[in-house]
Each structure stands twice: as C-alpha cells, then as structure tokens.
C-alpha cells in the first residue's frame, strides 16, 4: 500500500486541479434563430421554440430575456464566469 500512496496522492491532486464547468440558465437549441422571424413570430411560437424566458421586462414594450451563464472553478477557488449570453426578444 505504501508503494502506491504517492501515485494515488498525485492522481487525487490532478483530479482536484481539473476545471469544474457549470452551465446555468436557459439552455437553448443551437438552431433557435431559424425558428424565429422578426415581426412575424408570436409569443406562443417563441414559447414553443425557446421555452419560458429567464426574465421579462416590467415596463415599456414587452421584452423577454433568455440568459445562459457558464462558470468554471478550479479546486477550492471561487468560480469565475467564463461565458455569458443574453438573447433579448421584444414584442410590439
């Protein structure tokens, strides 16, 4: 067992250093843009294609926001946002 301890310790250290990736928010189909035509697609069609929005506007024209955030962390370090995408759809 003592012979394998250094190799096991090294394997554990390397596993702890591998990045931990986490995606939160709206996960959409990569072909979403082909399903939405400006000034033609209705709210019901957008709901069918993209699902419920992450957020909605509270004043002015009705605007829906679809937000996706990717965070990455290493070992015990604080997670950092590596990518964030916001799709804004306004209905008139």
- What are the mean pLDDT values of the chain's consecutive 10-residue runs (92 residues total)? 69 65 76 83 89 88 90 81 88 85
Contact in structure between 3 and 53 (CB atoms under 8 Å): no
pLDDT at 14: 60
Of the candidates 80, 84, 86, the one whose C-alpha atom is nearest the C-alpha of residue 21 is: 80
Note the pTM of the prediction, 2 decimals: 0.67
pLDDT at 44: 92
pLDDT at 12: 62
pLDDT at 2: 66
pLDDT at 79: 83
């Amino acid at each position: 067992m003592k012979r394998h301890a250094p190799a096991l310790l090294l394997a554990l250290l390397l596993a702890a250093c591998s990045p931990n990736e986490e995606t939160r928010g709206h996960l959409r189909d990569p072909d979403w843009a082909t399903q939405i035509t400006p000034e033609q697609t209705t709210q019901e069609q957008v709901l069918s294609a993209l699902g419920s929005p992450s957020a909605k506007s509270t004043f002015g024209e009705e605007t829906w926001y679809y937000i996706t955030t990717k965070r990455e962390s290493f070992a015990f370090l604080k997670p950092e946002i590596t990518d964030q995408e916001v799709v804004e759809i306004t209905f008139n």
